């Protein structure tokens, strides 16, 4: 593993740890709100709301799509970076540069 990969992995892990801690703190802070809301009387949902997906269904559908998208992007990147490189680009560039003549200025 290259030094960059080690640093990127460590930074990513630190970020995810901090994110998890922040998320946990947020959920803990919501407990009193949920408790307070449970004291209010519940009202029936409007009829049109019965056809809407639940927040859990929306979350599942969107994360399923995101996972498929990430998998496809990784497959694309893997294929892209395993393509054979051109034999040599430096000799072609120098030949093109040598043949190019400067334009006469008017």
Specify the pTM.
Answer: 0.63
Q: Is 43 helix (H, G, I), strand (E, B) or coil?
A: coil
Average pLDDT of span 8-30:
97
Q: Is 79 helix (H, G, I), strand (E, B) or coil?
A: helix
Beta-carbon contacts of 6 under 8 Å, excluding residues fewer than 6 positions away, are none
Domain ranges of the chain: 1-29
CA distance 35 to 24: 17
> What is the pLDDT, as a whole number, of residue 100?
56
Q: What is the pLDDT of residues 44-95, one digit of tens each?
A: 989 999 999 999 999 999 999 999 999 999 999 999 999 988 876 555 555 5
């Amino acid at each position: 593993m290259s030094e960059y990969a080690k640093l990127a992995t460590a930074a990513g892990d630190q970020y995810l740890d901090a994110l998890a801690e922040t998320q946990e703190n947020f959920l803990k802070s919501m407990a009193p709100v949920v408790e307070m809301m449970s004291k209010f009387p519940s009202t029936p949902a409007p009829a049109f709301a019965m056809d809407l997906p639940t927040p859990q269904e929306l979350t599942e559908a969107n994360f399923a799509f995101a996972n498929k998208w990430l998998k496809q992007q990784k497959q694309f990147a893997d294929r892209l970076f395993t393509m054979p490189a051109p034999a040599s680009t430096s000799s072609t560039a120098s030949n093109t540069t040598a043949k190019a003549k400067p334009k006469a200025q008017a």
